[in-house]
Amino acid sequence: MERFVVPQGEFALATTSSTQHESLRAWDAADEYLLQQASELGDLSGNLLLINDRCGALAVALAPCEPSSLGDSYVSQLATTANLERNKIDLSSVTLLGSLDPLPERVDYAFIKVPKTLALLEDQLLRLAPSVHSSTVIVAAGMTKHIHNSTLALFERILGPSTTSLAKKKARLIFVTPHEAEIALKPLAVSSFTLDPGNIRVKSYPGVFSSERLDIGTSFFIDNLPDQAGQIRIIDLGCGNGVVGLVLALDNPDADVMFIDESFLAVASAELTVQSNLEEHSQFEFLVGDSLGSLRSHPGIADASVDLVFTNPPFHDDHALSDATAWQMFSDAHRVLRSNGQLWVIGNRHLAYHAKLKRIFGNCDIIGSNSKFVVFRATRKPAPVQHKADDFS
């Protein structure tokens, strides 16, 4: 835990998971720059909206303004809540909104952290536009290397004329002068592609991984999926647009399949994908969660209750490399798998997931590999039998 010192005060902030990467902290220079600018604006009276506040640094500092905070990450919401509690701030002072939640009808101040993907930013700006009026103060922030001409063009096209600040600690601000014309709320854009063979239709909301075409890693994973049968329980963990879980469901029509991701838009995309291919999908569940840890109370994810877990773990936390999420996914999978249940993992060759899997499961088999990817299978071994003294009498 580190001390975050900004004009609004000094705060204790932490991320949601332990990591040895020094670059993974709960804020960056863009947060500091944005809060410096906010302090210069004076009294922030009116409705304040924060967008993409990764760990709640903005929400904690600006909590007296009672902001709403929009983001696509459930993990970010957990981090924001934890940091508010850490600083003894009333949780009701910040309204947390997921990507599918309605925004306030009127926004007087909008402070935006530029996300990794332009598609997600475009969707967020389109959703923000109807709530903006001619006097709305809109300031975006990001690290200089992540702000491009295309970023500025997007702000200008959707919200109004935009300019950038000088760089400070490798961070930059974007100032937007809103259009005066009222803009109607547009429905979320949905991209799609067809997967052959099988004529499988894959649907994705903006910012969801592999939304335009099947990526080569997922394609290789699908080629190596196991043949199963019967009434089994399957989890597609980190489901993205749900294509892996859908293929498993098609191959196992009697299976119960859970689609789980920390992205609100990913889970909604997976549901769209399933609905687009299967008329009957009552045996499927679509859940937003921090891996499986936040879902421990769910009756379908009890300890030792699942037959198969499939995952392609992310190895980035925002823009920084991290294996913390993979560790959590593997450990959670081991907990929920039945005796002899299996975790199937795909990863880039250089990530060396086999070492992590052997430490957690005590075993790891290579199912398939090529020049870029490896598919691993780890099996939860039966617990050793505990003999009583009477058994030997």
Decide if 2-176 and 191-379 have a common fold: yes
Confidence at 21, pLDDT banded by 50, 70, 90: very low
Averaged pLDDT of the chain: 91
pLDDT tens readout for residues 361-375 = 999 999 999 999 999
- pLDDT winner (highest mean) among 14-28, 200-214, 373-387: 200-214
Domains of the chain, by residue range, sit at 2-176, 191-379
Indicate whether 18 pLDDT > 50: no
Model pLDDT, residue 185: 78
Q: Is residue 195 within 8 Å of 218, Cβ to Cβ?
A: no
Q: How far is CA 91 from the centre of its chain?
A: 22
Indicate whether 130 pLDDT > 80: yes
What whole-number distance in Å separates Cα of residue 289 and Cα of residue 98? 12
User: HEC string of 73-140?
Assistant: EHHHHHHHHHHHHHCCCCHHHCEEECCCCCCCCCEEEEEEECCCCHHHHHHHHHHHHHHEEEEEEEEE
Model pLDDT, residue 25: 87
Indicate whether 229 pLDDT > 80: no
Model pLDDT, residue 390: 60
- Structural tokens at position 249: 């469901």
Model pLDDT, residue 319: 46
**Per-residue pLDDT averaged across 269-278, rounded?**
95
| Segment among 164-168, 230-234, 241-245, 273-277 with least mean pLDDT | 230-234
| Segment among 84-93, 259-268, 292-301, 324-333 with least mean pLDDT | 292-301
Report the share of the chain in percent with pLDDT over 90.
77
**Per-residue pLDDT averaged across 106-110, rounded?**
97
Q: Is 57 exposed, middle or buried (0-12, 13-18, 19+ CB in 10 A)?
A: buried
Model pLDDT, residue 136: 96
**CATH fold of 2-176, please?**
Rossmann fold (3.40.50)
User: Which carries the bigger pLDDT value, residue 173 or residue 283?
Assistant: 173
Q: Beta-carbon neighbour count of residue 167 at 10 Å?
A: 14
pLDDT tens readout for residues 62-84 = 999 999 999 999 999 999 999 99
Closest CA to 354 of 324, 374, 332: 374
pLDDT tens readout for residues 298-332 = 877 899 999 999 999 986 555 444 678 899 999 99
Indicate whether 94 pLDDT > 50: yes
Confidence at 391, pLDDT banded by 50, 70, 90: low
| Segment among 81-85, 87-91, 169-173, 387-391 with least mean pLDDT | 387-391
Continuous H helices in the chain = 29-40, 57-61, 74-86, 118-128, 149-158, 216-223, 243-251, 264-275, 324-336, 353-361
Residue the block writes with tokens 């980035």: 316
350-375: burial string, b at 16+ Cβ within 10 Å, e else: ebebbebbeebbeebeeeeeeeebbb
Model pLDDT, residue 20: 39
What whole-number distance in Å separates Cα of residue 182 and Cα of residue 178? 10
User: Which carries the bigger pLDDT value, residue 186 or residue 390?
Assistant: 186
Which CATH code for domain 191-379?
A: 3.40.50.150
Largest CA distance in the chain: 89
pLDDT tens readout for residues 134-156 = 999 999 999 999 999 999 999 99
- Structural tokens at position 334: 């081991």
Indicate whether 19 pLDDT > 70: no
